[in-house]
């Protein structure tokens, strides 16, 4: 998955496409020259050269942990959605009114304030009613179904080795801090977060009137620390072979006997006959079973009470909202101020019934003409990829046959779904915020559970149309580009092609290449987890990617906190492969013609500057720490400088020489595609 960053002044693509361009108008570079710092040598820091003045002048808004072109574009989408939502309050369309009713239930702050924690009373009573640890597992399943994080999470996805059917996957979870390292590391900064987390738990419980909040907070942190000790690292969880462990119900009972699996599956809404059950971390479940027996029931009750409260806090009265924000955004990400309530309301609508609001968004902001332009660009990138495979020196002929088949079968989804989701059965009330949230989450989870008895839905989307993001799904062999990411100025229909290929083209190439990174390459053209590489190809590819691990491990965005080269490997591979293919596709599009010089920049310079400016961003230090500990994406600076050093065309475009900071010896450069 690639989170693209878009430039400064945001306009909808449809608006730009409607502006006629005179035939004799000079070509547009697409580069935001005002953001550049020409005092910086691109040979030493392309990211700083392309974005330096913006980085110095623009401050991160107080309601954001990070700020960049993707956030600016997301803000534009929020404003557009707000106007659309508020415009359908009196609509004759029942689904459109649900969009407005959900938003209005969030905006009715006076009613929410009056209710306090009363909407959680039934769930609190369920916790209090437990008489034995055997009842903990079924209640965890019930909470997981309503969106509360617990030590076991269940989700529906295709069976990784039988891609024509769905399976129910079971995975580790239940931590309140961003990653297990926050509990286990001796680093002073992370130890400080642990202490503040305990204080946060105590404050939340005290807001409910709990007179023993401090003691309970200590026990909750102790239990979560025990969970962290038995959990797999994020690097280990990247291995699709190790995380594929089908189990029968009898085997589950043997593996983790302390969980009542019959009632767990029943409370989780799993249909009968039982689907294929796949455990991602078997020894974690085994350890959890032991932990359940060794932990008093009272502690489990305290833990579940807090997990419920924490998940619900954004939809409760002001005191809970403020404390939830103060820790999860203020402490962990150093964000000073919460977002305006209307923004949070729009985000809730997008998260719960986003295909209903997305339908409104697409109708106004993503016309067929825009989709057609992107369709052509994707086709050019796929063609360049296929030609690149034909000429690879390190890949065997047998593997190339499989690679070509995988490219041919990639399903490309642009803009919005072919078939919009039906929310007819979902009850939405303009006066019941938390009830709407709980019903919305359960509606979506039950929709997914219903898939277990049917065929794979290859038209389903896992992002809403206004989302500023894109993804590749290896189990469906598909690339998905929502309308939200296909806006100006990252895709500028008036700009000369060099910019568009450097910015948008690299995104497309990135997502395609996920099918061939260290993870995606383990899935074949039909989405099955099958090794289709020869041992020699594996060895050659690993030799190349090992260099990337070492390179990125050296990057230190915050003192004493380094990028994790293993965790970010897949995204780093995709960044490098994506820009390689985008450059090849751009070169091919010229058909031997010399491209123009625009704004004093050559086409190759515009290509790389477009790429660099598409990553314009700055992030608060605490949020960077969270990113390097939990996010498979490298910080933006390294997604530019760490990538272009492997491109021979970058060296020629900017006359990079030995001794320059961005010079890598030829033998250290990684060429993948």
- Indicate the domain borders of the chain: 13-82+379-408+489-668, 119-336
Mean pLDDT of the chain: 94
Q: What is the pLDDT of residues 172-201, one digit of tens each?
A: 999 999 999 999 999 999 999 999 999 999
Among 182, 180, 181, 204, which Cα is nearest to 195's? 182
Model confidence band, residue 10 (pLDDT cutoffs 50, 70, 90): very low
Give the dihedral sign, CA 48/51/57/60.
Answer: negative
Model confidence band, residue 336 (pLDDT cutoffs 50, 70, 90): very high
Tokens, residue 246: 């089908």
Q: What is the mean pLDDT of residues 150-159?
A: 98
Q: What is the pLDDT of residues 591-649, one digit of tens each?
A: 999 999 999 999 999 999 999 999 999 999 999 999 999 999 999 999 999 999 999 99
Residue 19's pLDDT is 33
Q: What is the mean pLDDT of residues 220-236?
A: 98
pLDDT over threshold 60, residue 3 = no
Angle, helices 535-553/636-644, rounded to nearest 10 degrees: 120
Residue 455's pLDDT is 96
Does domain 13-82+379-408+489-668 correspond to CATH entry 1.10.1740.10?
Answer: no
Q: Which range is least confidently modeled, 6-20, 459-473, 523-537?
A: 6-20
Residue 25's pLDDT is 67
Model confidence band, residue 24 (pLDDT cutoffs 50, 70, 90): low
Q: What is the mean pLDDT of residues 87-115?
A: 97
Q: What is the mean pLDDT of residues 283-292?
A: 98
Phi, psi (rounded to 5 degrees) for 482: -65, 160
Model confidence band, residue 298 (pLDDT cutoffs 50, 70, 90): very high
Residue 2's pLDDT is 42
pLDDT-above-70 percentage for the chain:
96
pLDDT over threshold 50, residue 7 = no
DSSP β-bridge partners for residue 415:
482
| CA distance to 181, 309, 519, 625, per residue, from 232 (Å) | 11, 26, 17, 19
Among 281, 279, 287, which Cα is nearest to 252's? 279
Cα(668)–Cα(666) distance, integer angstroms: 5
pLDDT over threshold 80, residue 15 = no
Q: What is the pLDDT of residues 411-428, one digit of tens each?
A: 999 999 999 999 999 999
Among 456, 520, 499, 383, which Cα is nearest to 162's? 456
Model confidence band, residue 489 (pLDDT cutoffs 50, 70, 90): low
| CA distance to 143, 184, 356, 371, 399, per residue, from 12 (Å) | 40, 46, 20, 13, 42
DSSP β-bridge partners for residue 97:
none
Predicted model pTM: 0.93
Does domain 119-336 correspond to CATH entry 3.30.465.10?
Answer: no
Cα(204)–Cα(202) distance, integer angstroms: 5
CB of 182 within 8 A of CB of 193? yes
CA end-to-end span of the chain: 19
pLDDT over threshold 50, residue 11 = no
Model confidence band, residue 486 (pLDDT cutoffs 50, 70, 90): confident
Q: What is the pLDDT of residues 556-568, one digit of tens each?
A: 999 999 999 999 9
Tokens, residue 152: 């076991």
**Geometric angle at alpha carbon 407, from 416 and 238, rounded to 5°:** 80
Q: What is the pLDDT of residues 361-414, one digit of tens each?
A: 999 998 887 788 788 888 999 999 999 999 999 999 999 999 999 999 999 999
Neighbouring residues of 639: CB distance < 8 A, sequence distance ≥ 6: 571, 572, 575, 615, 633
DSSP β-bridge partners for residue 482:
415
In 436-494, which ranges are E strands? 471-473, 478-482
Q: Which range is least confidently modeled, 174-178, 319-323, 486-490, 654-658?
A: 486-490
Residue 5's pLDDT is 33
Residue 371's pLDDT is 80
β-strands 66-68, 245-247 pairing: unpaired
pLDDT over threshold 90, residue 4 = no
Give burial (CB, 10 Å; 0-12/13-18/19+) of 201.
buried
Q: What is the mean pLDDT of residues 505-528?
A: 95
Q: What is the pLDDT of residues 38-79, one digit of tens each?
A: 999 999 999 999 999 999 999 999 999 999 999 999 999 999
pLDDT over threshold 90, residue 282 = yes
Model confidence band, residue 18 (pLDDT cutoffs 50, 70, 90): very low
């Amino acid at each position: 998955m690639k989170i693209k960053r878009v430039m400064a002044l945001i306009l909808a693509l449809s608006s730009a496409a409607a502006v006629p361009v005179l035939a004799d108008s000079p070509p547009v570079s697409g580069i935001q020259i005002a953001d550049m710092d020409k005092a910086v040598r691109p040979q030493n820091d392309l990211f700083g050269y392309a974005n330096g003045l913006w980085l110095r002048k623009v401050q991160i808004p107080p309601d954001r942990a990070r700020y960049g072109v993707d956030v600016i574009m997301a803000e534009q989408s929020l404003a557009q959605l707000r106007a659309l939502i508020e415009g359908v309050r009196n609509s004759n369309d029942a689904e459109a009114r649900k969009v407005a009713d959900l938003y209005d239930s969030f905006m009715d702050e006076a009613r929410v304030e009056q209710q306090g924690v009363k909407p959680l009373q039934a769930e609190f009573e369920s916790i209090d009613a437990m008489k034995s640890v055997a009842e903990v597992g079924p209640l965890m399943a019930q909470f997981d179904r309503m969106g509360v994080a617990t030590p076991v999470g269940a989700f529906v996805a295709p069976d990784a080795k039988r891609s024509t059917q769905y399976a129910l996957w079971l995975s580790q979870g239940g931590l309140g801090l961003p990653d297990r390292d926050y509990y286990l590391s001796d680093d002073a900064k992370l130890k400080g977060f642990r202490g503040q987390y305990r204080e946060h738990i105590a404050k939340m419980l005290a807001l409910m009137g709990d007179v023993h909040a401090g003691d309970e907070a200590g026990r909750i942190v102790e239990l979560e620390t025990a969970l962290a000790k038995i959990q797999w690292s994020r690097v280990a969880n990247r291995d699709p072979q190790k995380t594929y462990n089908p189990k029968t119900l009898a085997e589950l009972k043997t593996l983790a006997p302390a969980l009542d699996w019959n009632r767990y599956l029943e409370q989780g809404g799993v249909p009968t006959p039982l689907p294929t059950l796949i455990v991602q971390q078997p020894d974690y479940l085994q350890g959890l079973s032991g932990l359940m027996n060794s932990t008093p029931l009272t502690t489990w009750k305290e833990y579940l009470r807090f997990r419920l409260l924490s998940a619900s806090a954004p939809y409760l009265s002001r005191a809970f909202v403020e404390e939830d924000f103060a820790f999860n955004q203020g402490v962990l990400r150093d964000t000073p101020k919460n977002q305006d309530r209307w923004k949070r309301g729009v985000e809730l609508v997008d998260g719960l019934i986003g295909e209903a609001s997305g339908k409104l968004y697409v109708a106004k902001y993503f016309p067929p003409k825009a989709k057609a332009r992107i369709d052509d660009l994707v086709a050019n990138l796929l063609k360049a990829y296929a030609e690149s495979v034909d000429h690879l020196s390190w890949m065997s002929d047998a593997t190339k046959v499989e690679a070509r088949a995988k490219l041919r079968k990639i399903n490309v989804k642009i803009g919005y779904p072919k078939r919009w989701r039906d929310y007819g059965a979902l009850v939405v009330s303009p006066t019941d915020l938390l009830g709407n949230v709980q019903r919305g989450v359960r509606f979506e989870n039950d929709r997914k559970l219903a898939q277990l008895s049917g065929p794979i839905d290859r038209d389903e989307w896992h992002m809403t149309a206004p989302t500023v993001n894109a993804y590749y799904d290896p189990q469906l062999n598909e690339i998905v580009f929502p309308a939200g990411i296909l806006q100006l100025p990252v895709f500028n229909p008036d700009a000369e092609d060099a910019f568009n290929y450097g910015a948008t083209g690299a995104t497309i190439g990135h997502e395609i290449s996920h099918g061939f990174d260290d993870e995606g390459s383990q899935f074949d053209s039909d989405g099955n987890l099958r090794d289709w590489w020869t041992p020699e190809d594996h060895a050659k590819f690993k030799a190349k990617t090992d260099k990337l691990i070492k390179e990125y491990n050296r990057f230190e965005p915050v003192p004493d906190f380094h990028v994790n080269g293993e965790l970010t490997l897949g995204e780093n591979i995709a960044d490098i492969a994506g820009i390689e293919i985008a450059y090849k596709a751009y070169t091919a599009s010229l058909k031997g013609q010399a491209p123009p010089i625009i704004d004093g920049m050559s086409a190759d310079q515009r290509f790389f500057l477009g790429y660099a400016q598409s990553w314009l961003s700055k992030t608060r230090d605490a949020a960077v720490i969270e990113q390097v500990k939990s996010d498979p994406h490298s910080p933006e600076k390294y997604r530019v400088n760490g990538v272009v050093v492997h491109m021979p065309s970058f060296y020629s475009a900017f006359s990079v020489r030995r001794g320059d900071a961005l010079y890598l010896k030829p033998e250290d450069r990684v060429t993948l595609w």
